[in-house]
Amino acid sequence: MFVLRRAPTALLAAAVLAGCLPRPAPGEGRAQELTVGVARFRIAYWPEDAGAARQVRHALEKAAPRVARWGALRHPVTVTIYPSHDALEVAVQRSGYPWLKAWARYDTIELQSPRTWGFLGASDREVEGLITHELTHCAMYQVAGNDLDWMYKDIPVWFSEGIANVAARWGHRYGGIEDLYAFYREKLPGSGAGVPARMQAGRNPVALPGDPIVDPGPIYQDHSEIVYGAAYFAAQFLIERYGDARITRVLALMGTGKRFPAAFHEAIGITEAEFASDFRRYVVWQGWRR
């Protein structure tokens, strides 16, 4: 995940200078403050997105209690609403990601205005799901580190995105586990309809370029549905096998100074590589049974 942090005002200024945001008149920007339990929020937006800001406000009210499952939001979070996809890409310094609608950091969420999502804009349910997803990232980062070191914890994509997908209840977005099974069957040719031979021995995952768990980088931009789907199923597998308490302990151990690999090993009892291998075998076995 891209980890450069900037203050929200700097992001807005950079986008304006790049020509992606309307150049505002003095005092044209808007902001709202919101408190939900112990969580505090600031929503920044241009006047044309007053309706989007209301959607985001309602989404935050529903999302904050669900996100607390994974940790308290100890620092205020600023949600900045950008009026176009191009403006969002400039803000997060990512180009060529047409599916990207938001980006979370330690205490900020950059959001493409929901009024620009598709022909009719976004429903309240869609906004709630995305805000829950991104806010879960903020909560995990705040528990795992501070505003200076959170990006150096080596949190893998499958864990970060998977837990956020579970919080957002996005399982329906990724179809069944059969799609992931088909991906592994293609990458790991084996013996007929059974478990590929290269997966039967040991608990060390085979190094595969583009494996959505072990090495998602090569396929992240063009095949995000595989990466995010794999993350969701892996997180569900982790939760069902080990429970919430041991997952929150992973985050808490990172908060004491450990990086993800050491925290995961201590809290879960196996290495991340062993978990990846266990999960891959589970996917293939489930796919074979269906």
What does the pLDDT look like over 85-138, one tens digit per residue? 999 999 999 888 898 999 999 999 999 999 999 989 999 999 999 999 999 999
pLDDT for 84 beyond 60 = yes
Residue 179 per-residue DSSP state = H
Backbone phi, psi, residue 22, to 5°: -60, 140
275: part of which helix (H) or strand (E)?
helix 272-289
Q: pLDDT tens-digit profile of 55-66?
A: 999 999 999 999
Question: In this predicted structure, what is the pLDDT of residue 262?
Answer: 98
Specify burial of residue 89 (Cβ count, 10 A radius: 0-12, 13-18, 19+): buried
Structure tokens at 143: 């528990």
- Proportion of the chain above pLDDT 90, given as a percent: 63
pTM comes to 0.82
pLDDT for 232 beyond 70 = yes
**Total length of the chain:** 290
How confident is residue 10, by pLDDT bands cut at 50, 70 and 90?
A: very low
Question: In this predicted structure, what is the pLDDT of residue 224?
Answer: 81
Domains along the sequence of the chain with CATH? 8-151 (3.30.2010.30), 157-289 (no CATH)
Comparing 180 with 206, the larger pLDDT belongs to: 180
- Proportion of the chain above pLDDT 70, given as a percent: 80
pLDDT for 205 beyond 60 = no
How confident is residue 178, by pLDDT bands cut at 50, 70 and 90?
A: confident
- Identity of residue 199: M
Q: How many helices (H) and strands (E) does the chain have?
A: 11, 5
Contact indicator for 211, 224 with CB cutoff of 8 Å: no
